[in-house]
Structure 1
Amino acid sequence: MAASSLPDSRRDDYPALYRDFHWHVPETFNLAEACCGRWARDPATRDRIAVHTEHEDGRRASHRYGEIQRDANRLSHALRELGVRRGDRVAIVLPQRIETVVAHMAVYQLGAIAMPLSMLFGPEALGYRLQHSEACVAIADETSIDNLLAARGDCPALQAVIAVGEAAGRGDRDWDAALADQADDFTAEQTKADEAAVLIYTSGTTGPPKGALLPHRALIGNLTGFVCSQNWYPREDDVFWSPADWAWTGGLWDALMPALYFGKTIVGYQGRFSPEVAFGLMERYRVTNTFLFPTALKQMMKACPAPRERYDLRLRALMSAGEAVGQTVFDWCREAFGVIVNEMFGQTEINYIVGNCTAQYDDGQLGWPARPGSMGRPYPGHRVAVVDDEGRPCPPGEDGEVAVCTTDIHGHPDPVFFLGYWKNEAATEGKFVEHDGLRWCRTGDLARVDEDGYLWYQGRADDVFKSSGYRIGPSEIENCLLKHPAVSNCAVVPSPDPERGAIVKAFIVLTPGVQRSAESEAALVAELQQHVRGQLAPYEYPKAIAFIDQLPMTTTGKIQRRVLRLQEEEAARQRAAAPRVGNG
């Protein structure tokens, strides 16, 4: 599609689409049945390719719906033999490989709860989540088995580890052996739509990460946003790919599960992201739909300004989220791919709630114009407002907190909502506010709404921030730093960065007696960075560290991270305004 055939920016079908939409949520609903079982049983679709997998070492394979269901049935039997019952938590610590898909389907049809965990997590991050969730089984491969085994001693509820791939021989059972002697058929549990299906831990500003418990119906709540942001997905030959980790909300709910729900094909790549890899995958698998973080788009733009001159691309829809795309990247996507990037906003607890839809109009598709820099409009089925501290809607142009109503404009329950935070009723209740008989869920994100209903992001209401698309809470990093003997106190804030949006910066007060010199401080910085990288995820380590005599504190002893954050923002403005030296 050439840029000249892009949608007429004046056309706007949004008011009618939003007004006329109604939810239809069945009483019983199961993710495994909706995303695999029904396709595997149908002779017309059982041999359809569900997932292409590719490893960075060159290995490739294609997996059909019938094959995935067969292996999921076998794994369900194996998990049941290990004692997994309805409502139990099963940790899935795997990258984008076929066993990840099989594991999710097996857990869901058991009526158990899948707990996806990033393969990037270190022992401390894994240990907390496994212990807090009381997961009884964990599934891991060579990318995560070392850290999982290191954390196991602190997780008494963890009864078994299933080892996948090159991790074979290092767990209690090997994946292949566990499935080999099991039956191909399995009678799935009939789950209610409101039953818990997924437990995803999110970073917070105070205390440890919180586990957001999501029901099976949450996928239904995601679908309007997915369909719209992917320009009226699906079409006959649609193939989806995204580098977003399937252990995170963006990969699981914005890519893997909705693509399979519609019986289409998704590509899973196991390896490091690079622009060359991205373009190669998109060409090789004839990718039509994708979700790319702004950071990835920036890298791709710099590495290959005119990709259609080098690659045969079939892209027809591009969604982006995590941070603002910006005018430069927005314009490049239009020229480079011939598509308008649809920005989207959501969070783990209530995902895919605001965004855009710029479909082709020449074949009768509907949509509404995207505005560069805007988060978009509430997707059909979601009642979204910008509210003040009392929960009252703010007028256009006034900053407030983005909030989502538990009911839609017709008064029907919105299925997108999470069930609550695992073992944390106080945090769950604190997420909501009542106003005029309506219950609103606060997102913690600040925005303003314009006269046409578009939302414009203004920042975080709390101290959580995003770096390269990853949502980062300072508390977990600070707790890790404090375990180092040289650290007396610390605070973590975002520091503006043109490539990543922000980097993690730590302000550290050293323990009395620690010697300070230019040479010793440089060595200590490297030591502290490695300390965090060894315990948490690589993207969480502080890329910048400053040593200070004392942190800004409130009179009640709370760290004023906002003071440090504003200081970093001002320093970034001064750097941007400083005259450049040299030949330019």
Structure 2
Amino acid sequence: MAHFYDQDLTRPKSFNFAVDVVDYWAAKTPPLQAMYWVSQDGKDCEDLSYAHFERQSHRIAVLLKETGVTSGEKVLMILPRLPAWWELAIACLRSGVVVCPATTLLVAKDIEFRCQRSQASVYVGDSSSVQKFLKIRASCPRVRTVIQVGGDPPQGVIELSAALEKAVPKDAIFRGPKPDMCSPALIYFTSGTTGHPKMVQHDHISYPLAHTITGKHWLRLSPGKLYWNLSEQGWAKAAWSFFGTWNCGASLFVHDDRQSFSPTRLLDILHQYPITTLCAPPTAYRQLVLGESQEYFRKKPPQALSHCSGAGEPLNGEVIRLWKDMSGMQICDGYGQTETILICGNFEGADIRPGSMGRPSPGVPLHVVDSKGEECSEGVEGDMAILVKSEEPDEGDFFGLFQGYLGPDGSLDKRVRTFVGSRHVAPKSWYLTGDRATRDKDGYFWFVGRADDVINSAGYRIGPFEVESTLKQHPAVVESAVVSSPDSSRGEVVKAFIVLTKQYVQRDANLLVKELQDFCKKNAAPYKYPRKIQFVDATFLPKTISGKIKRNELKRLEWTSSASKL
């Protein structure tokens, strides 16, 4: 029987990623490599097969069941790039427990919010993130079980390896029922724009199976390929890699890198290991094509690397040109969201037009529409929208989309930013991505800008509301407005316009900037701190009649005045 990887992707009658993907590839002989893992210092390496993840996920699923964790309960998982992350994730998918990944950059306050909002009953982390959680455990009464990966666990915390060794045989099999494919499987947190981060809920098809499109057509993966994605496990981009790679029977290259990005370290790794496929944010490619990195690459180009892709922010056409000149390879840009699979990209056999996001992914009904839901003409700016449902008989429903946003009370909002428009006679329901674009006569999409205020700095999506809320906690701040500001290295960075309290107006400006930046790093995830700060009078901030700050005006002013200085 042909595997779904070899067929046109359609919605099956039943599907479970652990059973139909991991177990499928685990049964192959000779054994297929699923992961090549390298420790922080590069001294320890593990070559892990699909059979390894099949065995470990069964054992962990049994352990969770014996610990009292049942299908439908939520696990908030904050782990660095350790094999246990994938072992746990597969165990949850196998048993119907809902995985809620989060980044290791979060501080205790961020973790508290996510535990409370997700209503998680299990918390999983390494020794560092467990210590953060224990600071706020009293305010998270729903969390019954805390699991630590590695290290010496505090009292009342289960250490994963020790618990498996003690209580679960190596050949243990999880016997629970296979979860319904429409039941929740994963929840990711977005970056907040007008409020706190939203919870994006996916079922067992919307991410796991539909990402076959991402892996097969964009990343061009197949058994024998070794794929390296730079994203940390708390971000949805890592799920793109996880599901996209293993759907295709390829292998993940995982480096447990916990340092800030270094282009020379990246090149060293590409030289040392047989990585065939690389996905990096445009920020990384920008640094690789400049200065010493370019010289280093030309002297010793990677031998195995054959395909490069980029996503997370718009990719500059000049970077694509320079990378092609120095490596001989094109960067295949791609576009998608936490809410979706890859929905637009540059695919094999199609010309790459520098600056374009490419064309819609195979099977993805992506369009540019106006405010009435009518498709825009060529070259006319509109909203990027996916056709979710149509009453026309020749058009099916798109299933690579999330189920909805999960509310604080646990209810699911299925409206997912859709609206019903009309084209000709038949009504159509669109999902709006929140981004603006144009489409040329050949079907290529060209990014115009975000319809919301999210700041995309070096691939990190940062909500202004979160930064403003953190600044508000400092006694020097009366109010603030946070927008993006152009930056030659990161594309854009966080800038805060701050109105000071009377007590701080006379303080040394440089010292106060550092104090506020350090305060943000301590009280929010470090990547969110404002790299630029400007102190202003209250009258400087443009506001609506109701008193809301007009961020768009500040952003326009910032990009107009700052871009010329880069």
Settle same-fold status: TM greater than 0.5: yes
Report the 3-state secondary structure (helix = DSSP H, G, I; strand = E; otherwise coil) of the residue aligned with 1:353: strand
1:195 aligns with 2:183: yes
Q: Distance in 1 between matches of 2:553 and 2:175?
A: 57
The CA deviation string for residues 279-312 of structure 1, in whole angstroms up to 9 with x for no partner, is 2222322111121100011122224215153143
Distance apart, 1:338 and its partner CA: 2.1
**One-letter amino acid of the structure 2 residue matched with residue 53 of structure 1:** W
Report the 3-state secondary structure (helix = DSSP H, G, I; strand = E; otherwise coil) of the residue aligned with 1:179: helix
Report the 3-state secondary structure (helix = DSSP H, G, I; strand = E; otherwise coil) of the residue aligned with 1:529: helix
Give the aligned partner of residue 508 of structure 1: 498
Equivalent of residue 247 in structure 1, options 226, 234, 237: 234
Q: Distance in 2 between matches of 1:355 and 1:56?
A: 32
**One-letter amino acid of the structure 2 residue matched with residue 456 of structure 1:** W
Q: Distance in 2 between matches of 1:63 and 1:257?
A: 16
Equivalent of residue 123 in structure 1, options 80, 103, 108: 108
Give the aligned partner of residue 8 of structure 1: none
Give the aligned partner of residue 352 of structure 1: 342
Equivalent of residue 60 in structure 1, options 45, 48, 73: 45
Report the 3-state secondary structure (helix = DSSP H, G, I; strand = E; otherwise coil) of the residue aligned with 2:504: coil
Give the aligned partner of residue 4 of structure 2: none
1:512-551 alignment to 2 at 5 Å? 513-517=502-506, 519=508, 521-550=509-538, 551=541
Q: Distance in 2 between matches of 1:286 and 1:160?
A: 40
1:426-441 alignment to 2 at 5 Å? 428-429=414-415, 431-436=417-422, 437-441=427-431
The CA deviation string for residues 234-257 of structure 1, in whole angstroms up to 9 with x for no partner, is 2x431011111122111112x122
Count of aligned pairs: 541
Distance apart, 1:83 and its partner CA: 2.1
Equivalent of residue 17 in structure 2, options 24, 31, 36: 31
Quick check: 1:388–1:394 contact (8 Å CA) kept in 2? yes
1:222 aligns with 2:211: yes
1:120-519 alignment to 2 at 5 Å? 120-166=105-151, 168-169=153-154, 172-180=157-165, 181-183=167-169, 184-187=172-175, 189-218=177-206, 219-230=208-219, 232-234=220-222, 236-253=223-240, 255-271=241-257, 272=259, 273-302=261-290, 303-306=292-295, 307-358=297-348, 367-407=349-389, 410-423=394-407, 428-429=414-415, 431-436=417-422, 437-511=427-501, 513-517=502-506, 519=508
Quick check: 2:373–2:421 contact (8 Å CA) kept in 1? yes
1:563 aligns with 2:553: yes
Report the 3-state secondary structure (helix = DSSP H, G, I; strand = E; otherwise coil) of the residue aligned with 2:112: helix
Quick check: 2:301–2:327 contact (8 Å CA) kept in 1? no
Q: Distance in 1 between matches of 2:389 and 2:324?
A: 36
Quick check: 1:27–1:192 contact (8 Å CA) kept in 2? no
Aligned-residue sequence identity (percent) comes to 32
Q: Distance in 2 between matches of 1:439 and 1:292?
A: 33
Distance apart, 1:356 and its partner CA: 0.7
Quick check: 2:485–2:493 contact (8 Å CA) kept in 1? yes
Q: Distance in 1 between matches of 2:477 and 2:372?
A: 39
**One-letter amino acid of the structure 2 residue matched with residue 378 of structure 1:** P
Gaps of at least 5 residues in structure 2 are 1-6
Comparing 554-563 and 281-290, the one that deviates more:
281-290
Distance apart, 1:506 and its partner CA: 1.0
Distance apart, 1:52 and its partner CA: 1.4
The CA deviation string for residues 76-122 of structure 1, in whole angstroms up to 9 with x for no partner, is 11211222111111111011110111010111111111000100111
**One-letter amino acid of the structure 1 residue matched with residue 383 of structure 2:** E
1:30-109 alignment to 2 at 5 Å? 30-40=16-26, 42-44=27-29, 47-58=31-42, 59-109=44-94
Q: Distance in 1 between matches of 2:156 and 2:510?
A: 40
Report the 3-state secondary structure (helix = DSSP H, G, I; strand = E; otherwise coil) of the residue aligned with 1:144: helix
Q: Distance in 2 between matches of 1:559 and 1:34?
A: 50
Q: Distance in 1 between matches of 2:371 and 2:457?
A: 27
Distance apart, 1:532 and its partner CA: 1.6
Q: Distance in 1 between matches of 2:63 and 2:489?
A: 45
Q: Distance in 1 between matches of 2:188 and 2:433?
A: 16
Report the 3-state secondary structure (helix = DSSP H, G, I; strand = E; otherwise coil) of the residue aligned with 1:386: strand
Report the 3-state secondary structure (helix = DSSP H, G, I; strand = E; otherwise coil) of the residue aligned with 1:413: coil
Give the aligned partner of residue 579 of structure 1: none
Equivalent of residue 113 in structure 1, options 81, 98, 111: 98
Q: Distance in 2 between matches of 1:97 and 1:35?
A: 21
**One-letter amino acid of the structure 1 residue matched with residue 396 of structure 2:** H
Give the aligned partner of residue 580 of structure 1: none
Change (3 A) 1:177 1:429: same
Report the 3-state secondary structure (helix = DSSP H, G, I; strand = E; otherwise coil) of the residue aligned with 2:342: coil
Quick check: 1:246–1:256 contact (8 Å CA) kept in 2? no
Distance apart, 1:560 and its partner CA: 0.4
Quick check: 1:477–1:492 contact (8 Å CA) kept in 2? yes
